[in-house]
Amino acid sequence: MTLEIDLSEEEVSIYIAESDEQLETLAQGFVRLEQEQDNEDLVQSLFRAAHTLKGSAGMIGHTRMVDITHTLEAALDQVRKGKLIPNPELIDMCLDAVDAITILRDEVISQEESGIEIGELVSYFKGLIEDLTASDATPETVSSSENGTKKEELATASTNGSSGGMPVFARISEKSVSPAARALQLYMALAGLGEITSMSPSKEDIESGVKAYEFSAELITSASNEEVGETLKAISEIDELRINQQATSTLPDQIKPQTETANNNIPERLGDVLVSGGFITDAHLKYALKTQSLQEEKQALGQVLVDMQALSQEELDEAIQQHVQQQKLSLKELKAKQKSNGKQAEKTIRTSVERLDKLMTLVGELITDRNRLFQLREELESSYYQNEEFVHLFESITHIGRVTSELQTEVLNIRMLPVANVFNKFPRMVRDMARKANKEINFVVKGEHTEVDRSILDELNDPLIHLLRNSVDHGIEAAEKREAAGKPAKGEIVLEAQHLHGQIVITVIDDGGGIDTERVKAKAVSRGMITASEAETMSHQEALLLIFHSGLSTKDKASAISGRGVGMDIVRQNIEAINGSIGIESSPESGTRFEITLPLTLAIMPTLLVKLCDSTLGLPLANVNETLRIEKAEIRSVRGREVVQIREQILPLIRLGQVLNYQEQSNKFDYESVVAVHFGKLRVGIVIDAFMREEDLMVNPLGALAKNTQGFSGTSILGNGEVAMILDLSSLLKLANLN
């Protein structure tokens, strides 16, 4: 069924941005509230978020969202007053309400009703409030007397002799796309001013979407005619408005023609100041005024704009200060100042991801051309270094190279996003899984502000979900078992991100019982993955790596949380697909630690170029430790594999030509050229023919014909037009039987 929404296209984007912010506040805040029940600031922020969502829903005429946000807000009000304890059951229902509100919010985007039922949630919260209200209503006779007196006072103040309350009439424009939304706005505005004793159309008719262009109500309120009128004037598409039988202008004061001071033509109203100064758009102002009109406790316009993130508090303070200064300026000075302010206020812009991707592609092309220019410069310098014209050319090439490098850095920075964009959803997920598993778990997130390229971030979600599910289900033991082992009943899972050596390292650590490697080996033998003799000689670390084999699980029965544990092979594949690696450490005493190492970006890769036969190959520079020249006499053979001792450490060697089936050329020298690399915890030396140079390359995926070629992850065009193959260390190590 189609949903009629009273928003323009520009206002929809503002609404979505604001609602996303409020929903995130609720989702994260409720998880925190369970642990921080005495945090008054947290409760207040949750209340404000629910209140803002309710006002926004009323503004666009989304009645079901109004109902659920209103009851959630009422429950939070009781928590705020200390009458309701945020126990796990209440938090469960609050989080369910957030899920429901999210679905209702998505209806605004699709403009189609989802069919979600919210009656049970609304009834639950209403029941809580009614129970609390009933317990507070003592003694009953005094309460009734006080209520009666209050009503009489309100009636006396508002009716001017009428027994039913202050009569309010509004005629909704016949051009209105959604008259029901306007009627709902009128109802919510009046409900915030007092008690509605009668109303036509009824609330039920409004919620059912009945198109009525005349709205009438009787209101018991202490507000004056002018105050009621001012509140209702902010609602658009009202052709006629009468309060207590008196007609009033339907043009809101906030959007009347801009008034000016007699001296210097400076706009007096805050909204006008912000728009004329370039701090906000007209659409932001209109949206904020609508939101403000529906608030029961009116906020200042500036605060509404800050809450909806149309501008920051600092920008608001700056605008006010500028306005004060402008009052002292002459007309000529003022115009110059306003022009300057308009330029200064434009500090941020929104752009699409597709544009950023296109920009990165163009930067990659520039880098290829820059590398080509550098090669040409090297070829020409030896012959023309004394020619003045060529000297100027060389200087220009150097300058172009420097500017291109700066542009590359800036574009990469624009694409960087904090991992919080992914991490923020996990506290709720871990909390829900722990509840299902009947386990107490303290979930700690560190380094959520660490930044990584958006393309990497997009691929992190699924692997981390799987690792966290395994930590909850397989890692953390039941409370009784933990206490018997001398551990705290509450387990702990830590998710951390950090930058390290030009890469991003993400760790998932739990203090559970670790991985039983004997069971892992037994399962692997039973499935034919390894032989019994291989299992006996296998080290602890080698046994741990077996969990990355497809189909291996130590779970005998499926779990509602992580199934049978199948899928660690998929986790590794997903990580390696973005040039990353995953390692594992585990022991019964300290629990299990997964470490994911990833490049900061996939678009442009710093690379070490090497020569093998007649081909140029690229190694990701982030994985390179050092380059070495090893005397052939220093190379030894251990258990059939070539190794060399480097600074008291044994380094296994891979002859790249043999692994890739290249036709090797005889080495006439008495040394070997070796690149020492790391992949996860593994350190390996790769024997090549010659070192070339370091170069930033734009990496392209392998074509359809070469996508199944093992040992390579992509290709790149060098400055001289030659195609270089980029080595994939993960598959290279597998080809060399080094896991």
Distance, CA of 370 to CA of 644 (rounded, Å):
38
What does the DSSP 8-state code read for residue 253? G
- Map 275-327 to HEC letters: HHCCCCCHHHHHHHHHHHHCCCCCCCHHHHHHHCCCCCHHHHHHHHHHHHHHC
* Tens digit of each residue's pLDDT (9 = 90 or more) over 471-505: 998 899 999 999 998 999 999 999 999 998 778 99
Give a yes or no: residue 197 inside a domain.
yes
Task: Please tell me the distance from the alpha carbon of residue 207 to that of residue 218, in angstroms, as a whole number.
Answer: 19
Q: Look up the domain containing 190 and give its range.
A: 166-244
For residue 695, the domain's CATH number is 2.40.50.180
Q: What angle do CA 570, 574, 579 make, to 5 degrees?
A: 140
Clarify whether residues 124 and 14 are in a common domain: yes
Quickly count helices (H) and strands (E) in the chain: 27, 23
User: Within this chain, do residues 412 and 548 fall inside the same structural domain, yes or no?
Assistant: no
Mean pLDDT of 718-729: 85
Q: What is the pLDDT of residues 678-717, one digit of tens each?
A: 887 789 999 999 999 998 888 887 766 566 678 888 888 8
Same domain? For 434 and 409 the reply is no
CA dihedral 216, 219, 225, 231 (to 10 degrees): -80
Task: Tell me which of 212, 244, 276 is where a domain ends.
Answer: 244
Give the single-character DSSP code of 472: I
Give the single-character DSSP code of 509: E
Least confident of 74-88, 197-211, 387-401, 560-574: 560-574
pLDDT tens digit sequence for 273-297? 677 666 777 667 777 776 766 665 6
Round to whole Å and give the CA distance between 181 and 391: 72
Same domain, 66 and 177: no
Q: Of 116, 104, 72, nearest to 5 (Cα)?
A: 104
Tokens of 455: 């393309």
Tens digits of residue pLDDT in 445-474: 999 999 998 888 888 999 999 999 999 988
Residue 420 tokens read as: 């919080």
Which one, of 604, 602, 607, 606, lies nearest residue 455 by Cα?
Answer: 602
Q: Name the DSSP letter for residue 2.
A: B
Mean pLDDT of 624-637: 92
Question: Of the candidates 339, 325, 317, 319, which has an alpha carbon nearest to the alpha carbon of residue 274?
Answer: 319
Q: Same domain, yes or no, for 409 and 462?
A: no
Domain membership of residue 277 (yes or no) is: no
Same domain, 43 and 66: yes
What's 197's domain CATH number?
Answer: 3.30.70.1110
Q: Is it the case that residue 327 has pLDDT exceeding 60?
A: no
- Domains in the chain, number: 5
Task: State the burial class of residue 294 (Cβ atoms within 10 Å of its Cβ: 0-12, 13-18, 19+).
Answer: buried
pLDDT in tens, 505-528: 999 999 999 999 999 999 889 888
- Predicted TM-score of the model (pTM): 0.66
Phi, psi of 704 (to 5 degrees): -60, -35
Give tens-digit pLDDT for 171-189.
988 887 778 778 888 888 7
pLDDT of res. 603: 73
DSSP state of 666: P
Top-confidence range, 62-76, 139-153, 168-182: 62-76
Judgement on whether residues 589 and 667 belong to the same structural domain of the protein: no
Q: 397 falls in which pLDDT band (50, 70, 90)?
A: confident
**CATH classification of the domain holding 397:** 1.10.287
Q: How far is CA 232 from the centre of its chain?
A: 37
State the pLDDT at residue 494. 96
Amino acid at 517: T
Angle (CA) 92-94-97 rounded to 5° is: 110
